[in-house]
Structure 1
Amino acid sequence: MMISDGLGPASVSFARTYSQFLYNHPYDYVLPLDSIHVGQSRTRSASTLVTDSAAGATAFSCGLKTYNRAIGVDPKGQPCGTVLESAKFRHGMKTGLVATSRITHATPASFSAHVTDRENENSIAAQQMGDNPLGRSVDLMFGGGSCHFLPKSAGGCRSDGRDLLKEAEQKYGWSVHRNKTDFDALSDDVKLPVMSLFSSSHMDFEIDRVPEKEPSLTEMSKKALQLLSAATRNADKGFFLMIEGSRIDMAAHSNDAAAHLHDILEYQNTIALVKDFVDKNPDTIMISTSDHETGGLSLARQVEKKYPKYLWYPDVLAKVKQSTIGLATDILKNKVPSSEYATLLKERLGIEDVTEAEITALAGRKFPKSLDQYLAEMVSLRAQLGWATHGHSGVDVNLYAYGKGVDWLHGSHENIEIGHFIERVLDLNLTDITTQLNKNNSQFHISTMSEEDKLAYNDALDHYHHNPANLHHLSYE
């Protein structure tokens, strides 16, 4: 399964139009995803009409609606078995997670861990390593997020003193790698489980990525397919792999159009790679969708009070060389004087017409987030791109599928039905794996919902759904 976090329909049009402009493609040019568009996914969670990534990914992994912030747990906070876990423990399939976020972040976590609040990434890391009543469920993990595997004494985020990377090697047999050189050297004969973590937190935006330091999403996905294929070559069962283009979402949270664009285009490259894999391995199915849309992007903008012009300018984005959070961080870290802003904006963002008012506004912003958002607005204004929010929206997102037997996915579906489809085609049993998890969930599952959060959650359920039990499972028959 592939997840384009935060990618909405407008963002697909955005990337396609930019590609047509940049490479002089004809008007009927389509992206790799366009040719396998089969329907839409409806994204609301159990607690609100606008989901977060935790509830959105849990809908795919467990096939049920849950509250925002929930990782692999149901609306009552009890662990729900995931398609990854069922694939591993019901059929002995190999399993993998690839993400450009922290590997402990909401989406990969929802397939491989169970916590009542997504912020509990230290617990998520331990579960992904293998501290789980069922044992280790993941065979391969590529992404960022070493912080939650390491103690604070080693530059990590853990206050319990545990070094999970050492524990992973010694207790669970993981092969652990921390740099691009070691990753590139991984060959088919490597013994699973294998883990490559390239950064303390999230990996870089594609626009900022240094190829010698971090692999791209496509490179990680290619390696994952290679290793999982080799590990299952002589086996009766294959593998389940979740690939997430995580940073698409994070760029949209900043309303950083160029960073958003480059991560979308890299995701498209990964789609092309996986489509080719399916062609060569016709017993494989690929599903791609988003957990939600982020930013409320519009491809036109009213910049004056008079009647708006019907246009937007892709060429503005072709000049951008760095993410706006990257530039904001550089400005504040290096204490760049405002007298140098004009030169820097021209070099990094391609802005040649900066005004004195903008320079003054930039100089008054002393925190990365504020400066980041202002820089992003400067680019979007010139490109005439509109954004409705720095958060998520509740629009339906596109659903894509490729391979034999995907006809059922045509049309409009609740997001949980995607999880049901995976359960059916892989002959999984989510009810059974959930029962097994809950036999001894005190081993790993600690409630972290405050009473205030619980009250807000219950109020939301009453307001939106009246009877949340009706939303736990929908039939695909």
Structure 2
Amino acid sequence: MTSFDKPKKQNVIFMVSDGMGPSSVTLARSFKQQRDHLPFGELLHFDKHLIGQVRTSSNDTLVTDSAAAGTAFSCGLKTYNGGIAVDPFKNPCGTVLEAMKLDGYLTGLVTTTRITDATPASLSAHVVSRKQEDSIAEQQLWEHPFGSIVDLLIGGGRCHFLPSSVSGGCRKDSRNLVNEAIAKNYTYVSDRAGFDALNNGKNVSLPLLGLLAPKDIPYDIDRNASVYPSLAETAKTALTALSKATEKSEQGFFILIEGARIDHCGHHQDAAAHVREVLAFDDAFKEVLDFIDSSDVPTILVSASDHETGGLGVARQVQPEYPDYLWYPQVLVNSTHSGEFLIKKVAAKEKTISSKFDAAAFSGWIAEEIFKKDLGILDYTGQEVRNVRKLATSPDDLLKYLNNMVSVRSQTGWTTGGHSGGDVSVYAYSNNDYLDTMLYERGGLLGNVENADIATFMANVANVSLSDVTQLLRDAKKPKA
């Protein structure tokens, strides 16, 4: 067989940069050039693999949410915002992951948010509302119409696998899915030590359930590397584990690797955290490229965003007169923590205030600790100090205020605290000529495509039928309402 023949075995890697738009890439690229003293021609890893754009609308609006976008990516159809792997009439639709699992592939999900959140859920569960995360957790393990369909799960979201009677649990029932999984011979890891024991994926016994945080894994700007692995590390571990497990199999594997918290930074309009989440995703992208180049199994990578978040602009008019054509990445370099991190820090300090003397000291602490040390802001005003004091017990308002201080000074613009409807980018790579040809021929991903075309393309690569899986699901049962 030559590399132009259709592979008998292949791996499909799907990466999702949740909330990352074209301006996110520009922002992160310029930030990295500034921080690392790189030439202006220096590109990010995924920059070199750009092949097209994706239209992002959902079935019921021009501005999608992650559930509808994830369903388009997984089922090849558009649904309503909030629906997880169901059609507009709330009937289940077959996903790429399910189709490949039924065809003998191993499957995996890796994310930096809750493993039960919209994007991983849309590949592995069927519910009428993304809020049904307890049900999603059950389906991701074994209570799916097809049984256990996910062989490897790594992310946050331990909360939805544990009852509320247990520390860190938030399930509405009394089930302890972690204990149930262990009883069913899942390998379970919940911390850095357990993750490190996996030895970069060389010491993994599938199925694997890795729940590394109660909810979201911290932003990369805040992440303590001794406590939480990076997305690049979890991706590498997952790829190695699945590759090892399929070494002697007729079929390869399918995996989702999601940089989920780019989206959260956009919702919070946190420019300093945003650029670092994009770069963390880029590091994971590089790990995937290295894996593909070292693999003798034909492997294809498709990477896309589900939507853009924040309406990000790489410039901002901060004065009423004709604007300067400027933005300042060094401001983001100087900022060393997210607003999410800092509001907790301020709230904890505020609780220690018990006298007028303490209140005066609190102002000094805000100036020195929050503004100078954490945000890298030296030109703060007395009014800004007083404003933070007033907002110390109003976390949502304080979050907006601190993040805006950084955005204004860097002249980073935002138009919304939600999603926007613009097109987003598609990146792709493979180590096989036949798979490359599929990318660029008619029906591939070159140019401008619909989000639902991503699922159709991946199903074609794997030679599986989404419609057949949809029929099997509908013969089984309807999703939980």
- Please give the TM-score of this superposition, normalised by the length of structure 2: 0.90
Q: Which residue of 1 aligns with 2:411?
A: 384
Q: Which residue of 1 aligns with 2:213?
A: 199
CA distance in 2, matches of 1:412, 1:138: 31
2:424 pairs with 1:397: yes
CA distance in 1, matches of 2:147, 2:313: 46
2:299 pairs with 1:287: no
Q: Which residue of 2 aligns with 1:469?
A: none
Residue 102 of structure 1: how far off its partner (Å): 0.5
CA distance in 2, matches of 1:350, 1:441: 55
CA distance in 1, matches of 2:473, 2:349: 50
Q: Contact between 1:189 and 1:230, CA under 8 Å: does it hold in 2?
A: no
CA distance in 2, matches of 1:33, 1:333: 39
Q: How does 1:122-161 map to 2 (within 5 A)?
A: 122-155=134-167, 156-161=169-174
Q: Which residue of 2 aligns with 1:424?
A: 460
Instruction: For 1:333, give the aligned amino acid.
Output: A
Q: Which residue of 2 aligns with 1:341?
A: 366
The one of 390, 395, 401 aligned to 1:364: 390
Two-structure CA RMSD over aligned residues (Å):
1.1
Q: Contact between 1:325 and 1:369, CA under 8 Å: does it hold in 2?
A: no
Identical-residue share of aligned pairs (%): 47
Residue 333 of structure 1: how far off its partner (Å): 2.4
CA distance in 2, matches of 1:270, 1:300: 28
Where in structure 2 are there 5+ consecutive unaligned residues?
Answer: 1-13, 352-361
Residue 228 of structure 1: how far off its partner (Å): 0.3
Which one is further off, 173-182 or 394-403? Answer: 173-182
Q: Secondary structure at the match of 1:153?
A: coil
Residue 402 of structure 1: how far off its partner (Å): 0.6
Which one is further off, 212-221 or 21-30? Answer: 21-30
Q: Which residue of 1 aligns with 2:256?
A: 242
Residue 18 of structure 1: how far off its partner (Å): 1.2
Residue 351 of structure 1: how far off its partner (Å): 0.8
Q: Contact between 1:40 and 1:412, CA under 8 Å: does it hold in 2?
A: yes
Instruction: For 2:330, give the aligned amino acid.
Output: D
Instruction: For 2:308, give the aligned amino acid.
Output: E
CA distance in 1, matches of 2:459, 2:303: 16
Instruction: For 1:162, give the aligned amino acid.
Output: R
Residue 338 of structure 1: how far off its partner (Å): 3.1
CA distance in 2, matches of 1:103, 1:367: 29
CA distance in 2, matches of 1:369, 1:139: 38
Q: Which residue of 2 aligns with 1:229?
A: 243
2:88 pairs with 1:75: yes
Q: Which residue of 1 aligns with 2:183?
A: 170
Instruction: For 1:208, give the aligned amino acid.
Output: D
Instruction: For 2:166, give the aligned amino acid.
Output: A
CA pair 137-300 structure 1, distance change in 2 beyond 3 A:
same
2:69 pairs with 1:44: no
Instruction: For 2:220, give the aligned amino acid.
Output: E
Q: Which residue of 2 aligns with 1:92?
A: 104
Q: Which residue of 1 aligns with 2:28?
A: 15
Instruction: For 1:324, give the aligned amino acid.
Output: G
2:127 pairs with 1:101: no
2:312 pairs with 1:304: no
Q: Secondary structure at the match of 1:286?
A: strand
CA distance in 2, matches of 1:399, 1:36: 8
Q: Which residue of 1 aligns with 2:285?
A: 271
Residue 189 of structure 1: how far off its partner (Å): 4.6
CA distance in 2, matches of 1:429, 1:205: 37
CA offset digits 1:114-140 (Å, max 9, x no partner):
111001100000000110121011000
Which one is further off, 427-436 or 354-363? Answer: 354-363
Q: Contact between 1:134 and 1:436, CA under 8 Å: does it hold in 2?
A: no
Instruction: For 1:425, give the aligned amino acid.
Output: V
Q: Secondary structure at the match of 1:58?
A: helix
Q: Which residue of 1 aligns with 2:195?
A: 183
- Equivalences, count: 443
Residue 98 of structure 1: how far off its partner (Å): 0.3
Q: Secondary structure at the match of 1:370?
A: helix
CA offset digits 1:226-281 (Å, max 9, x no partner):
10000000111000000000011101111111111111101111111111112222
Residue 214 of structure 1: how far off its partner (Å): 0.6
CA distance in 2, matches of 1:370, 1:112: 36
Which one is further off, 279-288 or 209-218? Answer: 279-288
CA distance in 2, matches of 1:206, 1:240: 26
2:351 pairs with 1:315: no
Q: Secondary structure at the match of 1:287?
A: strand
Q: Which residue of 1 aligns with 2:9?
A: none
CA distance in 2, matches of 1:333, 1:116: 39
CA distance in 2, matches of 1:208, 1:300: 25
Q: How does 1:325-336 map to 2 (within 5 A)?
A: 325-335=340-350
CA offset digits 1:406-433 (Å, max 9, x no partner):
2121100000001100010101111111
2:67 pairs with 1:54: yes
Q: Which residue of 1 aligns with 2:47?
A: 34
CA distance in 2, matches of 1:331, 1:189: 42
Q: Secondary structure at the match of 2:350?
A: coil
Q: Contact between 2:134 and 2:172, CA under 8 Å: does it hold in 1?
A: no
